[in-house]
Amino acid sequence: MIEDQDDRGYWEQKKVLETTGTNLEPEGIIVDWLNMATKVNRIKDNARVLDLGCGPGRFIKAMRVYMKKDWSILGIDGSGGMIRIAKKNLEGLRRIGLKHINASDMEFKEEFDLVWHCTVLQHISGKNKRIIIPKIVDALKPGGFLMFFEGTREENDNLFKVGPREWWIKLFQDAGLVHTTNGEPQESHNGHCFYIFKKDGI
């Protein structure tokens, strides 16, 4: 069993695919927060959206089925196994693309109106966060939004490489994004918080 989650082989392991890969329904409170945040910040109807670390596609399905959004959505994941599960989970839904791409390898340039990730960066080392975060900023169009839900409790193992709420805010402010509380829930949920950032330009 590979224990280091920075190892690209971790997420391909049978045990991981049989646990995380079978979690097909997102928590309702996170979907509600995302729905509210995208409405308050007026994410346009024809938006292009990136789901970073999409896993089995549960939030893509939520955007399409529960939130009734007709966005053009691209889900990427560093695990080919997760992408295969997502293709089955999202079968029949339109305007959805799925690609096996590791976040540290993505090369998008001002392509997305919204980038979303949920409990992704908390599993990634500080070294690789410093690689990925500038790529997230590059992927956003000017005026685009980053929204995410990540853990704030640092554990004594290699699972959660995170800090408190203020730590996440500074991390993305230092990368050039503007933190906004417009539509951002101030409460936490199971030791995790929801964040909203905007890229200057519009």
Mean pLDDT of 184-198: 93
10-198 folds as Rossmann fold (3.40.50)
Give me the residues paired with residue 53 across strands: none
For the chain, the domains span 10-198
Contact 136, 107 (CB under 8 A): no
Q: Whole-angstrom Cα distance, residue 85 to residue 193?
A: 27
Q: Is the pLDDT of residue 179 over 60?
A: yes
pLDDT tens-digit series, residues 13-22: 888 888 887 8
pLDDT at 66 > cutoff 90: no
**pTM of the model as a whole:** 0.92
